[in-house]
Amino acid sequence: MTLQRFVLLVFCTVVITLGISACLTADGTAQQDGAEWPQFRGLAAGVVPDDPNLPETWSDTENVVWATDIPGLSWSSPVITGDHVFVTSAISAGDEPDPIKGLYDPGMENGSEGSNNEHRWMLYDLSFQTGQIRWQRELHSAPPPMKRHLKNSFASETPVTDGRRVYVYFGSIGLLGAFNLSGETVWTQEIDVYNTTLEMGTAASPILYGDRVYIVNDNTTRSFVAAYNKDNGDELWRVDRDERGQNWATPFVWENELRTELVTAGTQGVRSYDLDGQLLWEIHGMSGLTIPTPFASHGLVYISSGYPGGGLRPVYAVRPGAAGDISLFPEEAMRSGITSGFPGTLTSSENIAWSYPLLGTYNTTAIVYGDTYYTLLDRGFLVAHDARTGEEVYSRKRLEIGNGFTASPWAYNGKLFLLSEDGETYVVEAGSEFNILHKNPLNEMTLATPAIARGSLFVRTQSKLYRIAKGDS
C-alpha cells in the first residue's frame, strides 16, 4: 500500500466515525459515497458515484417512492443521515403572497415583502423509508423581523448534520441550534438580526467541519464570519468582514494539498481564512449580489458570482497556497464593470489557474463532472469549459425558451440534471457534445437544490418533498 493510499484510508475512517460518509480522492477532492447527504450540495458539490438504482426519468407519479406535504414556505434543501431526512420551514398564520418565477429586482412591482403575520420556524424529521414525519420542532414563533425577496423565504438556509445531530440556522431570526436525532434540543444560540441590501432576506447555509459549525452573515450593519462549538454552541471566534449588503453564498471548507481553509464569497470580494479566522488570501471584484457557493475539484477551488444587471460576473479557479491580495482585474474595471463579451477574456496568474470576468451565474452554482466545468445560466443556457484550464468545450446551449433556473445542477450515471423553476428537470448527456435526453416534470414551482442518498433523489417543490427512485428501490 502506498503512503497516499494509506493516508486516504485513514481519512476515510476518521470521517466515517464522525457520521459523514465521504473520503478524499487523490487530488484532495471530497468524494460523496452516495450513502449520506449531510449538507447543501452534499460533500462532492452535487456529484455522486454511478448507481443503477438512481433514477433518470420521473414525474409526479412515475418512480415516486413517496411524496410528503411540508407546510409553510422554505427553499432549504433536505439533508440525510441514516433513516432521517431533515427539512426546515417557516409557517405563516395568515396569507402570504405566492412567489413568482423569473428574475426581478426588489422595489419593482414584485420585490421585497414583509409580513405582520405570526410565523413558526420549524424543523422536520422524515423517515427515509416511508416519508412519514417522525417528529417536528418549533424553534421560534413571532412576526418576521425583516423583509424578504418575493422568491426568497424566511427559512432558506439548509441544515447540516454529522450523523449524531442536526444543526439549523435561520438568519432571518438570528437563531442557530443543534438537535439530536430524537428531536431533543442540544443547544441554541441567539445571533443578532441584521438587514440586507434591498431587504432581500438571508440564505447562506451553515457548514460543519471537525468540532465546529461555521456561518457567514453579510449584511448592511456588521458583516461577519464566525465559528461555534458544535457540542455546546459557544462562539469560538468571530471576524468582521468588509462587506456591505448581503451574501447568499454558503461558505466552503477546502482541504487542499497544502492546508485546510474556509473559503467565502462576498460582494466586495472572495476571502479565504484559516480555521481560526485569520485571513489567508482575497480577490477583489465580484458582482453586486453573491449567491453561488464555492467548491473544489481537480485541486482547485472555484468561486463564482453574477447579477443580471451587468458589471462583473466573474469565475475564478484558484490554486492552493495563495497569500494576500491575488486580484486580477484593475480597480477601474471593478468600479465600472465589464459589460461586453461573454464569457470574456480567459485570464490567469500564478495563483489563479483560470478565470473569466463574465461567466458567473446569478443563482445557480456550477458543477464539475469528470473533467468539465458546467455553467447553468439562470435564463436556461448551459456552457461547458475544461475544469483544469478553463478552455471552452462548448458555448451557450439553450435548454428551452421561457424556463428560469435557481436550483443548482447535480450529476450521476454520465448525465447532468438541471431543475427549472417550473419543476422540470432537463437530463443532459455529459461530455463534449450537448444533448438533451429528456425532461422530467413535477408540475410545481421548485427553487431548492435536490439531495441524493442511497439510490434515491430527494426533490423539494413549493409544497412537497419527493423521494424518487427506480421502480421499487
Burial of 195 (0-12, 13-18, 19+ CB in 10 A): middle
| The pLDDT value given to residue 106 | 62
Residue 163, amino acid = G
Q: What is the pLDDT of residues 161-216, one digit of tens each?
A: 999 999 999 999 999 999 999 999 999 999 989 888 778 888 999 999 999 999 99
Strands 79-81 and 148-149 come out as unpaired
Whether residue 28 has pLDDT greater than 90:
no
Instruction: Give the three cell numbers for residue 301.
Output: 477551488
Counted residue by residue, the chain has a size of: 473
pLDDT for 334 = 59
Map residue 335 onto helix, strand or coil: helix
Please give the model's pTM, rounded to 2 decimal places.
0.91
Domains annotated for the chain, with CATH where assigned, are 3-468 (2.130.10.10)
pLDDT (0 to 100) of residue 107: 60
Mean pLDDT to the nearest integer, 380-391: 97
24 vs 378, more confident: 378
Closest listed residue to residue 155, CA positions, set 181, 133, 137: 137
In this structure, are residues 67 and 131 in contact, taking their beta carbons and an 8 Å threshold?
yes
Q: Read off the pLDDT of residues 206-251 as tens digits, 9 standing for 90 and up.
A: 999 999 999 999 998 999 999 999 999 999 999 999 987 778 899 9
- For the residues 335-353, what does the mean pLDDT come to? 82
Write down the mean pLDDT value for the chain: 88
Of the chain, the percentage scoring pLDDT greater than 90 comes to 72
Q: What's the confidence (pLDDT) of residue 381?
A: 95
Q: How far is residue 399's CA from residue 312's CA, in Å, rounded to a whole number?
A: 24
Residue, of 321 and 110, whose pLDDT is higher: 321
Minimal CA–CA distance to 110: which of 156, 155, 151, 153?
Answer: 151
Judge contact between 151 and 134, C-beta under 8 A: no
DSSP 413: T
Instruction: Determine the average pLDDT of the residues in 344-354.
Output: 93
What is the rounded CA–CA span in Å between residue 277 and residue 271?
11
pLDDT, tens digit, for every residue of 286-297?
A: 887 889 999 999
Q: What is the pLDDT of residue 244?
A: 79
Which of 39-48, 261-270, 340-349, 419-428 bottoms out in mean pLDDT, i.e. has the lowest?
A: 340-349
If you average pLDDT over residues 138-164, what whole number do you get?
Answer: 93
Contact 156, 201 (CB under 8 A): yes
